[in-house]
Amino acid sequence: MKWLLRRCSRCGRYTLRTDSCPHCGGSVSVPHPPRFSPEDKYIRYRYMMKREAGLL
């Protein structure tokens, strides 16, 4: 299933447009987190990046 809802990174409003925000012109991204899978191949790399960033 493709996510249709997008959120503007500048003003925080939600939109269905995929290129830019119709209100302020900011960039839009998918506000939903990625799906969790216990068989994730990249968990090791995400853990390393979080540890380097000081989030763990």
pLDDT digits (tens, 9 = 90+) for 1-56: 567 889 999 998 999 988 999 989 899 998 888 788 888 888 889 889 999 998 87
Q: Is residue 49 part of a domain?
A: no
Q: What is the total count of domains within the chain?
A: 1
Q: Is residue 5 part of a domain?
A: yes
Q: Is residue 37 part of a domain?
A: no
Q: What is the model's pTM?
A: 0.57
Alpha-carbon distance 44 to 56, whole Å? 13
Cβ atoms 28, 6 nearer than 8 A: yes
Q: Is residue 13 part of a domain?
A: yes
